[in-house]
A and B are shown apart, each in its own frame.
Chain A
Amino acid sequence: MIDTRDEFVELIRANARAMFRAARSVLDSDAQAEDAVGEAILTAWQKLDSLRDPNAARTWLVRLAVNKAIDERRRTSRLTSTEELLELAAPERAASPWEAVCALPPDRRTAVVLYYYEGMKVREIARVLNISVGTVKSRLARARRELWEMLKEDEL
């Protein structure tokens, strides 16, 4: 059981980067993702009692971050400018794997981040995103193809 403030702080330090990547996979900017992480940290602190199994802490925090990011995205989704879409459509070659991941559509981006960066299993991702295992696999399959296209001149 994680009970003290110090233990909580250590838990966040160990998982904040994973939370950021998960939030960033839903949102289109680093600033928004940091906001979502900030909100998730506060919620985690307030609802720490609901975390029964410390071994599940990482998944729990990532899920909180994803949910906060989805809330943030919902609040700002009407703002999606076609200019941003133009920018998204533009890069056919990505300068780095992370840039390529960020260029993916949000649903596939999230699946990729949780699978490759956070090392989650497909079933675990399905639970975090509240979608079916088949959908996770489908999104990963399409994401691989797109990543391949964007990175093929590098090492893939």
Chain B
Amino acid sequence: MNTFDRKFKRMISGADGVPEGFDGRVEARLASLPERRTEAAPARTFRPMRRRAAAALAAVLAVCLISGTALAVSPTLRELLWGGFEPYVQNLEPTAENTHVYDNVEARIVSALSDGYINAVHVELRDLEGDRAGELWREYQRTGVNALEKDAVFSLHAAADALEQMRSILETGKYAGGSGGTAFPTRLIGFDGESGVLTLELGRFSAAPEREKTAKVEINTGALGTEPVTVRHENPGVRWKQTTEANGQVIKEESGVGDTWTEIKKGWVLTCELAALPVRTVETNGLAVEPAEAYRLDGGKRLALPTGGESIRFGSVKLSQLGVTLCAEAEDGVKALTPPAKMAVVLKNGEVFELTGRFRADFNENSGESRTFSWLFPSPVDPESVASLTLGGVEIPLN
């Protein structure tokens, strides 16, 4: 047992994560079991009524989401995806810059699109010796677990150790602002059984709106052993960390001061130029929306603040095939307001669909620059086909 294991086990002793009242609900479940094991199952009584109602609502939402998403499985999905982006998709030929093969798994950027606020990189993975990409896809179908995970981590199932981690990072150049963003999820777009190609979409909120030119996809490998992949050495005044491959090869080194780490050496990086998508801009002239929350940052932590009847004022809406971005007027640089997460999109043909999550660019302290909030479309949408948006009960007409 290593040091981490000992310390972590000590931390978790006595705290088991089981919610209050759980034991009582288990007893109720046991009491409701049929006398004889072959009897029909009793009606589900374990779930409190409130949760059952929530599940019913969720089921309705699921239908709505599935009907509007590009995640349905189909052999022609790739063609459909590219069709949606045509004629903007790059469909790049493999080069030394956009392709890398590790452990007989080829990763290749086939397209990198940007509307200035949202960047989407499409990557194809192909296993040159087996069916690891197919295994991942099937696991996604079986369990619903895919790369829609924190920090857009991508793992190949089972043989796993070829590409343990893939995440999208985008070049920020010499942009001096303090803005950052939240990564969009990695989406498994589809798997072509004939060619063995798995298609992913790696999204990223632009860290420097309208200034980013190059897409990068960083590939790191994972470790086979039980030791942490990253080992930190901390001495007074000097800190550095390594990321090692299973065979011990160091693929990444960083040095740090405070919370800032500088990369000295890193794993493989695929690059290609971002292709600019056409953007439809609609001025909204300070349209006010009541915020869902307010907070300020304190040492990297979000501290909730009362919203106090304030409004977020949006100066413009940017629409592209990738999604919707609202540009807010600058706040005081300390207190940040966040709009509601759900946005309804009404198309000119009368179709309505809901976007359930938005991502924000962190505000630039004292810079006076606008803050932006973006919502990703589940599949490409013609920006000219959008008639209006509704956010927090406020309709934003776009005609």
- List chain A positions with a Cβ less than 8 A from chain B: 5, 9, 12-13, 16-17, 20-21, 24, 26, 30-31, 34-35, 37-38, 41-42, 45-46, 48-49, 70, 73-86, 88-90, 92-93, 96-98, 101-107, 116-117, 122, 131-132, 134-135, 137-142, 144-145, 147-148, 151, 154-156
- List chain B positions with a Cβ less than 8 A from chain A: 4-5, 7-12, 15-19, 22-23, 25-26, 29-30, 33-35, 37-38, 41-42, 44, 46-48, 51, 54-55, 58, 61-62, 65-66, 69, 71, 142-146, 148-151, 153, 155, 157-161, 164-165, 182-185, 222-230, 300-302, 341-342, 355-359, 375-376
Does B161 lie within 8 Å of A134, measured CB to CB?
yes
Does B8 lie within 8 Å of A116, measured CB to CB?
yes
- Bound: A122/B29 CA distance, A: 31
| Contacting residues, chain B, for A122 (C-beta < 8 A) | 226
- Bound: A86/B44 CA distance, A: 32
Does B47 lie within 8 Å of A34, measured CB to CB?
yes
Residue of B19, B42, B155, B230 near A30 (CB, 8 A) is B19
Does B29 lie within 8 Å of A41, measured CB to CB?
yes
Does B18 lie within 8 Å of A105, measured CB to CB?
no
Does B4 lie within 8 Å of A144, measured CB to CB?
yes
Does B150 lie within 8 Å of A85, measured CB to CB?
yes
Does A73 lie within 8 Å of B228, measured CB to CB?
no
Rounded to whole Å, the gap between the CB of B135 and the closest CB of chain A is 10
Does B183 lie within 8 Å of A98, measured CB to CB?
no
Rounded to whole Å, the gap between the CB of B9 and the closest CB of chain A is 6
Does B62 lie within 8 Å of A38, measured CB to CB?
no
Rounded to whole Å, the gap between the CB of B222 and the closest CB of chain A is 5
Contact (A42, B41) CB under 8 Å given A17-B22, A82-B357, A97-B12: yes
| Contacting residues, chain B, for A106 (C-beta < 8 A) | 145, 149
| Contacting residues, chain A, for B9 (C-beta < 8 A) | 116
Does B376 lie within 8 Å of A105, measured CB to CB?
no
Residue of A12, A74, A89, A141 near B144 (CB, 8 A) is A74
Residue of B65, B342, B358, B359 near A78 (CB, 8 A) is B65
Does B37 lie within 8 Å of A46, measured CB to CB?
yes
Does B302 lie within 8 Å of A90, measured CB to CB?
yes
Residue of B29, B144, B359 near A82 (CB, 8 A) is B359
Residue of B58, B183, B229 near A89 (CB, 8 A) is B183
A34-B25, A83-B342 known; 7 other A-B pairs, CB under 8 Å?
A26-B143, A38-B29, A73-B143, A93-B301, A97-B15, A137-B223, A142-B229
| Contacting residues, chain B, for A90 (C-beta < 8 A) | 182, 302
Task: Please name the residue on chain A nearest to B7 by beta carbon.
Answer: A156
| Contacting residues, chain A, for B26 (C-beta < 8 A) | 12-13, 16, 37, 41
Does B222 lie within 8 Å of A138, measured CB to CB?
yes
Does B18 lie within 8 Å of A141, measured CB to CB?
no
Rounded to whole Å, the gap between the CB of B6 and the closest CB of chain A is 10
Does B356 lie within 8 Å of A141, measured CB to CB?
no
Does A46 lie within 8 Å of B38, measured CB to CB?
yes
B12, B44, B376 pick with most chain A CB within 10 angstroms = B12
- Bound: A139/B302 CA distance, A: 29
| Contacting residues, chain A, for B302 (C-beta < 8 A) | 90
Q: Is the interface of B mostly helix, strand, loop or mixed?
A: loop
| Contacting residues, chain A, for B23 (C-beta < 8 A) | 13, 16
- Bound: A89/B184 CA distance, A: 10
- Bound: A13/B18 CA distance, A: 13
| Contacting residues, chain B, for A131 (C-beta < 8 A) | 157-158
Rounded to whole Å, the gap between the CB of A77 and the closest CB of chain B is 3
| Contacting residues, chain B, for A16 (C-beta < 8 A) | 22-23, 26
- Bound: A106/B10 CA distance, A: 23
- Bound: A145/B159 CA distance, A: 20
Contact (A35, B47) CB under 8 Å given A102-B17, A134-B161: yes
Residue of B33, B62, B164, B228 near A148 (CB, 8 A) is B228
| Contacting residues, chain A, for B46 (C-beta < 8 A) | 34-35, 37-38
Does B224 lie within 8 Å of A138, measured CB to CB?
yes
7 A-B pairs within 8 Å (CB atoms) are namely A13-B23, A74-B142, A81-B357, A82-B185, A82-B359, A83-B342, A140-B226
Residue of A17, A31, A92 near B51 (CB, 8 A) is A31
- Bound: A96/B11 CA distance, A: 9
| Contacting residues, chain B, for A101 (C-beta < 8 A) | 17
Task: Please name the residue on chain B nearest to A25 by beta carbon.
Answer: B17
| Contacting residues, chain B, for A74 (C-beta < 8 A) | 142-144
- Bound: A138/B66 CA distance, A: 33
Does B158 lie within 8 Å of A135, measured CB to CB?
yes
Contact (A35, B51) CB under 8 Å given A78-B65, A89-B151, A131-B157: yes
Residue of A41, A79, A132 near B33 (CB, 8 A) is A41
Task: Please name the residue on chain A nearest to B354 by beta carbon.
Answer: A81
Rounded to whole Å, the gap between the CB of B376 and the closest CB of chain A is 7
| Contacting residues, chain A, for B300 (C-beta < 8 A) | 92-93
Does A5 lie within 8 Å of B35, measured CB to CB?
yes
Does B33 lie within 8 Å of A42, measured CB to CB?
yes
- Bound: A151/B47 CA distance, A: 33
